[in-house]
Structure 1
């Protein structure tokens, strides 16, 4: 497939609780505004991060499968364009001090 089509489910009560859905695969990604709310990463999911202006987002997969893992970055890039930050740098680790990955 050349590119996926993504859909967005929004929470009418919380502007920072979007869920990105791939129309063509089972990929789902929950969006968190971690500069405004608490976020605890689920060790069985993939998390990526990105800044849109001063706002820091966490993107966490929902029930990720191996087949969908390659589409995560594309979905986040689509979301970045949707929120008018097409140049969002996608970060592999939480950039907040004290949130390094424990080994």
Structure 2
């Protein structure tokens, strides 16, 4: 089940995608072209990276390496940030640069 509220934050050469995930909802499985930091600001989630599942309780910071296939599922209402080096400012185009094609 997917029910995300997404906000985009741009500052200089940095971009953060803020996702509010209600309990029992998830972010789609995907991978990125570049390493990035993810911040679980609030809540409890399971993160599956390349088939290995770990539970995380916020606040915490997690490194996601380029090419790692990952999936985030909220166990409680959660707020998750993906933070990337990125020079663009168009929310409609940012995923096409940062998300790795399958």
Q: TM-score, normalised by structure 2?
A: 0.33
Structure in which a larger fraction of residues adopt strand: 2
TM-score for both structures, normalised by structure 1: 0.33
